[in-house]
Structure 1
Amino acid sequence: MAKPKAKPEKLQDKEILTSELAAIVGKTPQWIRQLTRDKVLHQVGRGKYCLGEAVQAYCEHVSGGKEEEQRPRLIDFKTQHEKIKAEKAELELEQMKGNLHAAADVERLLSDLILTTKSRLLGVPSRIAAACENESAEVVEAIVQREIETALSALAKYTPDKIGGEIDHGSPEDG
């Protein structure tokens, strides 16, 4: 009577040694033992691993862990990092095109505009005092109106292309 054929063992169910698994994944046996201590890989016997389970567990570990786990995966951090780099490059491009300005530049420009306008407006009384002496109310009103309009003209001359460049402080006669 012939012996029954032994069922061949499936490759994924084959038990392999630590050194064999290390050779398969391209790491050292010490690395495999560390992953075992970290509970990434599970031994089926002393120094033995089930090939299919070990390779799948290692691949999962390399990709950052299981998706259903509540902790972030390495691949998630890498994806987020790449998105941030793309956003940064986009902002730098817009800045080079002149469509985006640094907050410090805008703050400096607006601060200068406000201070210049304030000083011009505060200088109005001293500039018109002599001109308004013994004048009628209509003439005084016209002189005050003209001086205020002159002081505010710096705001009307504002253009966005001055951001990041030199700021127009007006002429010394303007105050």
Structure 2
Amino acid sequence: ENYIPSCEVADIIGRDVRTVQKLTKDGTLTCEKKKNKNLYNLYTVVREYCDYVAKLGKKKISSVEEEKALEEVRIKRAKAELAELEMQELKGKLHAAEDVEQMTSDLVMVIRSSFMALPGRVAVELAGINDATELSERLKTEVNAILEDLSNYEYDPEEYRKRVRYRRGWISEERDDE
């Protein structure tokens, strides 16, 4: 008979004795008790260990396949989220920071030009005023007129849509001006 002790099984499979004992306890390897010792049939234990290793390999493959599937799901979700964000942007519900920055810069330039034009617009009229209070009131009236103009500024979703289409290269500046 080809019965061997656990230490020889450990040598054959390249593991330690504790691993052999654990695999025996788990039911992976079968043994027979002879004279208070666990003895293993050489052919049976080698076949059982090979089956065990093959199962581990399948588990690793399925684990890799599962990771791959999870990664594909993550990528598809990210693509769907990106498509949703692009749709929101095209509908004018979401704005790219660069478009907001550009529109804000345009507004700041309008404000700047309004205030820069103020001295030239009122210089002649103010030159004839000698009373400081009257001069102050006239300047306040002009500044309030500029601020009133600016308070009429309205958000134009179509302007943002144009900027998105232009940024994406769907329309050219010449065509946009038409």
TM score, norm. by length of structure 1: 0.52
1:75 is displaced (CA, Å) by 4.2
The aligned counterpart of 1:56 is 59
Find runs of 4+ consecutive structure 1 residues off by over 6 angstroms.
none
**1:81 offset after TM fit, Å?**
1.8
Map of 1:76-87 to 2, 5 A cutoff?
76-87=70-81
Separation in 1 of the partners of 2:107 and 2:148?
A: 11
Q: Structure 1 80/166 Cα, relative in aligned 2: closer, same or farther at 3 Å?
A: closer
User: Within 1, Cα distance between the matches of 2:57 and 2:102?
Assistant: 61
Q: Evaluate the alpha carbon distance shift between residue 61 and residue 133 of structure 1 in structure 2; reply closer, same or farther with a 3 A threshold.
A: closer
Contact map agreement 2:118 2:142 (CA 8 A) in 1? yes
Measured in 2, the distance between the counterparts of 1:166 and 1:62 equals 45
Aligned to 2:85: 91
Counterpart of 2:156? Answer: 161
Check the 8 A contact 1:132/1:139 in 2, yes or no: no
Q: Which of 142, 150, 154 is 2:145 aligned to?
A: 150
Between Structure 1 and Structure 2, how many residues are aligned? Answer: 114
Which residues of structure 2 form unaligned runs of 5+? Answer: 1-27, 29-45, 164-178
Q: Which residue matches 2:169?
A: none
Decide whether aligned partners of structure 1 residues 131 and 53 sit closer, same or farther in structure 2, where only a CA change above 3 A counts.
same
Q: Is the 8 A contact 2:92 2:161 kept in 1?
A: no
Structure 1 match to 2:125: 131
Structure 1 residues 118, 109: CA separation in 2 closer, same or farther (over 3 Å shift)? same
Helix, strand or coil at the partner of 2:126: coil
1:106 CA drift (Å)? 1.1
Q: Distance in 1 between matches of 2:70 and 2:88?
A: 27
Shift of 1:84: 1.7
The one-letter code matched in structure 2 to 1:80 is R
Q: Distance in 1 between matches of 2:144 and 2:156?
A: 23
User: 1:103 aligned to 97, 106, 114, which one?
Assistant: 97
Whether the aligned pair in 2 keeps the contact of 1:117 and 1:154 (CA below 8 Å) is: no
Report percent identity of matched pairs. Answer: 27
Unaligned runs of 5+ in 1: 1-12, 14-43, 65-73, 168-175
| Aligned partner letter, 1:106 | V
How far is 1:129 from its partner? 1.2
Bigger radius of gyration, 1 or 2?
A: 2
Q: CA 1:84 to 1:154, structure 2 compared with 1: closer, same or farther past 3 Å?
A: farther
CA RMSD after TM alignment: 3.1
How many Å separate the matches in 2 of 1:75 and 1:139? 78
Task: State the Cα deviation string for residues 120-141 of structure 1 (Å, max 9, x = none).
Answer: 1122122111111232334322
